[in-house]
Amino acid sequence: MTENQLWKNRRYCAELTEKDYNQTVHCCGWIDTIRDHGQLLFMHLRDKSGVVQLVFDPEKDKDLHAQAEQLRNEYCVSISGTIVERVGEAKNDALPTGHLEIHVQSLSVYSSSKTPPFVLTEKSQVDDDSSEFKVDEDLRLKYRYLDLRRTSMQEKMIARYKIMKVIRDYLDEQGFIDVETPVLTKSTPEGARDYLVPSRHHDNTFYALPQSPQMFKQLLMVSGFDKYYQIVKCFRDEDLRPNRQPEFTQLDLEASFIDEAYIYNLLEPLVKKVFAVVGKEISAPFPHITYHDAMELYGNDHPDLRFDMKMVDVSEKLRNVNYKIFNSILASGGSIKGINVKGKASEMSKNMLQEELAKKVVPSFGGKGMSWMKMENGALNSNVVQFFSEDEQKALIESFNAEDGDVLLFIADSNKAVVNDVCGRLRLYVAEKWGFIDKNKIAPCWVTDFPMFELKDGRLSSMHHPFTQPDHAFSSASSTDDYLAVNSRAYDLVINGEEVGGGSIRIHDSEIQTKIFSVLGLSKTDIQEKFGFFVNALQFGTPPHGGLALGMDRLVAMATDSDSIREVIAFPKNRVAFCPLTQAPSHVSDEQLTELKLACIKEEVSITD
RNA sequence: GGGGGCGUAGUUCAGCUGGUUAGAAUGCUUGCCUGUCACGCAGGAGGUCGAGGGUUCGAGUCCCUUCGUCCCCGCCA
C-alpha cells in the first residue's frame, strides 16, 4: 500500500474494538510509554482519541523489534499491525482498549523527539485520577504545544469546542444570526482601560480593541437584524486576577422587541445544554434573587447557592444588649449579622474560633472581630454568653433555628456594608473549609434589580453600563440621592458564586440616553465626541431591545472542573499578561515606532526625595 | 497601586538555630529481564541553590538590592 492509502485507512487508537479482532489496521500517533522486557516490548501509542497497546515480539520479527527498541517517548510514528484479543491476566480493565493490543508488523518514524521538559503521559492517572498535573505553569505555557498534547488538555479543548457548537446550533434554531463586529474600533472613556492600537495612516490617533461589542450590537438592532449573537474576543487592559485574561471570549447576544423574561427563557435551556455536553444536569427555572436580597443574605451580588447558610440580621433582637461591643456598634448606627454553622460544634474548638477565625481570618476580610456561640444541651454557650439576657438568647436561638451542635458566628460593625461584606466572606470561608459545598452541584441564579448608579469617588457612575434602561423612578429623579435610588433593568447570571454573565434591557430613546450621559457628568461636547454616532443612531427608529454576554472561558472552566480559565484557553497569557511561548509583549524596532510617529518614554531614574 | 508566599537536578520537592563532598522521588541514560500496563532489577550522568552586593573564619540558609512567578485586596461600566 502507498502511504496515501494508509492515511486514508487510518484508525484512531482508542476507537478500536472487539469488532476489529484479527483485522490489520493502521494507526498514527505518539509514543506514550515504553515497557521493555528485553524480549517482548510493549508500548502505548497515543493520538487524540486515547491510547492503545503495541506489542513487538523479536521471535516474530527480529529486525522490527530492534527498530522498535530505538523508539523513545513522544516520537511521532505510524504502525501497521494485527488487532489481537488479550487473554486472561493480560487484559487491562483500566484502559478502554485494555482488552486488545496491536501486534505490529511495520513501523515508520515520522520524527523523533527531544526529551520533553515535562512528562506528557497520563498513565499514572489510570490509578489515581485525582492527581493533578504538578508542573510550573510558566513552563507549561512556554511549551504549550506539548502541554496541549496531554490527554486531559485535549479533552478540555474538545469539550470547549463542543460547548461552542451546542450554543451555535441552539441560537441558530432560535433565529439568531452571527454578525462580526470590528476588532479595531473607537476608544470609549467609560469602563475598563482600553488596549490601544496606533494608526499609521492618521497621525497621533489610536484605535481601541473592544472591551465588548456593546454599541455595535445595539446598532445591529437599530438596523433591524432582530436577533444577533457572536462568540467574540474582548479585551480589557485591567490588572490581572487568577480568573482573568487580557483577552477573553464572550458569547454576546442581543434581541429586539423582547423583555427580561425572553432572556431568561432563552438562556436557561442554553446553560442546561452547555452542562449537558459534559454530562451534568441543572434544574430550571433558575431562581431569581434581587441585588438587595443577595447583599443582605449572602453579602455579595454573586451568591453561591450550592449551600444555604443565609446571613441573619439580629440587630433588632439585640437592641438593648449588655455586651459592650455590640451595644456601642448598634448605638452608632451599625448592625450585627450572623451565620449558623450547622452541626460543627465538635469540630470548631474554642481555641480555633478565637485564635484562628476571630483574630486572623476575619481581620483578613476587613472585619474588626468575631463573636461566637455554640448550641449545647439546648442552650447557648460561649465566652460572652453571660452578657446576653435570657430573652435575647432565646431570640437568637429562634432567629438561627439553632439546634444542639450548631455554631453561631457573629460579625458586627458600625458600617453596615462592612458587616455584609465580612459576614459574606466568612460564610464562604467556613463553607469551603468545613465541607458545606457540594462540588458536584451546579447552582445557577439570576440576580436582578440592580441599582442604576453607584457613587465612585463622590461621583455618580453606572453600575452596569450607561446603555442600561433605568426603571420609572428615573424620569422624576433630580438629586444624587434620587438617582442612587433608581434601579436598572439589568440582570446577572450567577453560577456557583461566580458571575458568568450579565446584560440588560437597553435604552431605545435617545433623550433618556442623553440624560444618562449627563447624569454621569459628561458634557454635551463629551457626549458628541465619544458617543455622538451612537446617540444619533438612536434617533432613527430604535426598537426596544436587550441582551446579554456570557463569559465563555469561565463557563467552560466550570463545566470541565478546571481551577483556572487558563486551563481551557489553548494559548493563554500568564498572570502578568505575558506569553512565555511567544515572549509577547515585546519591544519593536525604532523604524516601526517612527512610522507610527511614536516614541517610547524611557524609564527615568528618580533622585528626588 | 497596597500586602503576602515562592525561586535548590530536566521535573516535583526536602534541606533544622549558618558548619565537611547539597539530598529524595521521578525523568534521562547504560546493562539485564518474554505478558507488562506507573513493569521490575542493577549501575551512571545530571546543580553558577534566580541574579548582584553585603555580614561572617564559613551563606542554599542571615541582611540589602534586583529579576521572575503565584496568591489576597484595590481595579475589572
Mean pLDDT to the nearest integer, A569-590: 92
Strand B nucleotides where any atom sits below 7 Å of a protein CB: 1, 10-13, 26-29, 32-40, 68-77
CA-CA distance, A465 to A544, in Å (whole number)?
A: 17
ipTM rounded to 2 decimals: 0.94
pTM over 0.80? The answer is: yes
CA of A376 to C1' of B34 (A): 68
- Residues A311, A432, single domain; the answer is yes
Q: Which of A266-275, A350-359, A589-598 has the highest mean pLDDT?
A: A266-275
Say whether both A313 and A344 belong to one domain. yes
| CATH number for the domain that contains residue A171 | 3.30.930.10
User: What is the model's pLDDT at position A364?
Assistant: 85
| Bond preceding residue A585 cis, omega within 30 of 0 | yes
Read off the CATH number of the domain in which A110 is found: 2.40.50.140
Question: Which nt is closest to the CA of A453, judged by C1'?
Answer: B77
Give the pLDDT of residue A188: 76
> Would residue A595 count as lying in a domain?
no
Instruction: Specify whether A15 is located in the same domain as A121.
Output: yes
In this prediction, residue A355 has a pLDDT band, given cuts at 50, 70 and 90, of confident
Q: How many angstroms separate the CA atoms of A445 and A426, rounded?
A: 21
pLDDT tens, position by position, A218-252: 999 999 999 999 999 999 999 888 889 999 999 99
Q: Give A361's DSSP letter.
A: I
Residue A7: which pLDDT band, with cuts at 50, 70 and 90?
A: confident
A426 and A462 inside one domain: no
Q: How far is the CA of A239 from the C1' of B74 (A)?
A: 10
A274 in a domain, yes or no? yes
Say whether both A432 and A316 belong to one domain.
yes
Q: What is the DSSP letter of A487?
A: B
Q: Is residue A594 part of a domain?
A: no
Unique residue bearing C-alpha cell 433555628: A401
Dihedral sign (CA A312, A315, A320, A326):
positive
Quick one: what percent of chain A has pLDDT higher than 70?
A: 96
Query: Which nucleotide has its C1' atom closest to residue A603's CA?
Result: B66
Which nucleotide is the nearest neighbour of A115, by CA and C1'? Answer: B28
- Domain range for A181 is 158-284+456-568
Closest nt to A213 (CA→C1')? B77
Q: What's the rounded mean pLDDT across residues A391-399?
A: 96
Residue listed under C-alpha cell 455584609: A420
A609 pLDDT higher than 60: no
Residue A343 pLDDT > 50: yes
Q: pLDDT, tens digit, for every residue of A159-214?
A: 999 999 999 999 999 999 999 999 999 987 667 899 999 999 999 999 999 999 99
Among A546, A541, A548, which residue's Cα sits nearest to residue A222?
A541
Mean pLDDT for the stretch of residues A505-524: 93
Higher pLDDT, A459 or A423: A423
CA A115 to C1' B21 (Å) is 30
Q: Which of A437, A468, A485 is the last residue of a domain?
A: A437
What integer pLDDT is reported at residue A123 of this predicted model? 67
pLDDT of residue A606: 40
Do residues A493 and A548 touch, judged by C-beta distance below 8 A?
yes
What's the full length of chain A, in residues? 609
What integer is the mean pLDDT of A305-315? 95
- Check whether A128 has a pLDDT greater than 50: no
- Last residue within a domain, chosen from A404, A437, A470: A437
Rounded to whole angstroms, the Cα distance separating A273 from A556 reads 12
Inside any domain, residue A526: yes
* Gap from A207 CA to B71 C1', Å: 34
Task: With cut-offs at 50, 70 and 90, classify the pLDDT of residue A122.
Answer: confident
Q: Would you state the pLDDT for residue A569?
A: 95
d(CA A256, CA A254): 7
Query: What value does the mean pLDDT of chain A take?
Result: 92
**Are A114 and A177 in a shared domain?**
no
| Bridge partner residues of A454 (DSSP) | A461
Same domain, A312 and A431: yes
In a domain, A531, yes or no: yes
> In angstroms, rounded to a whole number, what is the distance separating the alpha carbons of residues A64 and A108?
10
Query: Which pLDDT belongs to residue A603?
Result: 53
Do A393 and A508 lie in one domain? The reply is no
CATH number of the domain enclosing A387: 3.30.1360.30
pLDDT value of position A602: 66
Give a yes or no: residue A73 inside a domain. Answer: yes
Q: How far is the CA of A415 from the C1' of B4 (A)?
A: 27
Total Cβ atoms within 10 A of residue A207: 18
For the CA of A36 and the C1' of B33, the distance in angstroms is 9
Nearest nt by C1' to A242 Cα:
B71
Tell me if A604 is assigned to some domain.
no
Query: Does any domain span residue A25?
Result: yes
Interatomic separation, CA of residue A124 and C1' of nucleotide B12, rounded (Å): 15
Question: Can you give the distance from the CA of residue A115 to the C1' of nucleotide B49 in angstroms?
Answer: 24
For residue A44, which nucleotide's C1' is closest to its Cα?
A: B37
pLDDT at residue A191, rounded to an integer: 79
Measured CA A33 to C1' B28 distance, in angstroms: 14
Judgement on whether residues A189 and A94 belong to the same structural domain of the protein? no
Listed residues A437, A467, A490: the one ending a domain: A437
* A64 and A123 assigned to the same domain: yes
Measured between alpha carbons, how far is A375 from A396 in angstroms, rounded to an integer?
11
> Which pLDDT does position A189 carry in this prediction?
67
Is the Cβ–Cβ distance between A459 and A190 less than 8 Å? no
- Total domains, chain A: 3
Q: Specify which residue's alpha carbon is closest to the C1' of nucleotide B11.
A: A118
Beta bridge partners of A253: A229, A548
pLDDT grade for A587, boundaries at 50, 70 and 90:
confident
Where residue A458 falls among pLDDT bands split at 50, 70, 90? Answer: confident
Grid cell for residue A412? 458586627
Q: What is the mean pLDDT of residues A264-271?
A: 98
Does the pLDDT at position A1 exceed 80? no
Residues A320 and A409 in one domain: yes
| A262 plus A315 within the same structural domain | no
Task: Check whether A130 has a pLDDT greater than 70.
Answer: no
Q: Dump pLDDT digits (tens) for A480-497.
A: 999 999 999 999 999 999
- Residue A456, pLDDT > 90, answer no
Beta pairing class for A444-448 and A288-290? parallel
Q: What is the nearest nucleotide to A366, using C1' and CA?
A: B73
What integer pLDDT is reported at residue A131 of this predicted model? 52
